[in-house]
């Protein structure tokens, strides 16, 4: 096969992949329950949205954890008791907490596309996080193990 035909096949594959990626951004809901986010780990694609709902009952917020979002990604802090949404575009692992209930381990992880920063995030969490923030490590471990199985 000529190089030019290989290139055109690769180009066609790339374009069809791009079309699949561009189609139908989705919205994923994370329900604030008594002292947990459900689901606590969410897998989405770049451009999809995440909505935290039921935040008023019990007074929850969502605050990204410094050092545990991908480089170049936008950190966030919602108002306590208000539903909130983000549409992350940078691929990687994002971790967040509910500050009023961090002592209960109310926190979660969003994986956008490939979790390219999971090892760095895990290292950061183990070295830098203090007190109840360390409870995110168990959730990062689940993401790390799932990534290793692919």
Instruction: Name the site residues for Cu ion (rule: CB under 5 A).
Output: 60, 98, 101, 106
User: From the CB of 127, what's the least distance to Cu ion, in Å?
Assistant: 26
Instruction: Output 60 or 139, the one with its CB closest to Cu ion.
Output: 60
Q: How far is the CB of 34 from Cu ion (least distance, A)?
A: 9
Per-residue CA distances from 61 to 48, 86, 98, 107, 108 (Å): 20, 13, 5, 10, 12
Torsion, Cα of 81, 82, 85, 90 (10° steps): -50
Q: In terms of CB distance, is 101 or 139 closer to Cu ion?
A: 101
Q: Which is nearer to Cu ion, 17 or 59 (CB)?
A: 59
Nearer to Cu ion, 114 or 134 (CB): 134
In the complex with Cu ion, the residue whose CB is nearer, 17 or 103, is 103
- Residue 83 neighbours by CB distance under 10 Å: 16
What tokens were used for 123?
């290292």
Write down the least CB distance from residue 145 to Cu ion, Å: 26
Instruction: Report H helices in the chain.
Output: 3-22, 118-128, 136-148
As measured in angstroms, the least distance from the Cβ of 68 to Cu ion is: 18
**Cβ atoms within 10 A of the Cβ of 51, count?**
15
**CB of residue 110 to Cu ion, shortest distance in Å:** 16
Six token digits for residue 5: 């035909």
């Amino acid at each position: 096969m000529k190089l030019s035909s290989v290139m055109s096949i690769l180009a066609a594959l790339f374009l069809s992949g791009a079309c699949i990626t561009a189609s139908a951004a989705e919205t994923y809901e994370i329900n604030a329950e008594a002292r947990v986010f459900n689901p606590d780990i969410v897998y989405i694609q770049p451009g999809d949205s995440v909505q935290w709902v039921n935040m008023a009952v019990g007074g929850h917020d969502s605050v990204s954890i410094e050092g545990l979002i991908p480089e170049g990604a936008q950190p966030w802090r919602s108002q306590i008791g208000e539903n909130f949404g983000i549409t992350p575009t940078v691929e990687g692992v994002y971790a967040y907490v509910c500050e009023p209930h961090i002592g209960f381990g109310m926190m979660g992880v969003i994986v956008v596309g490939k979790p390219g920063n999971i090892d760095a995030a895990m290292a950061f969490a183990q070295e830098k996080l203090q007190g109840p923030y360390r409870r995110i490590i168990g959730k990062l471990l689940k993401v790390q193990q799932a990534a290793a199985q692919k």
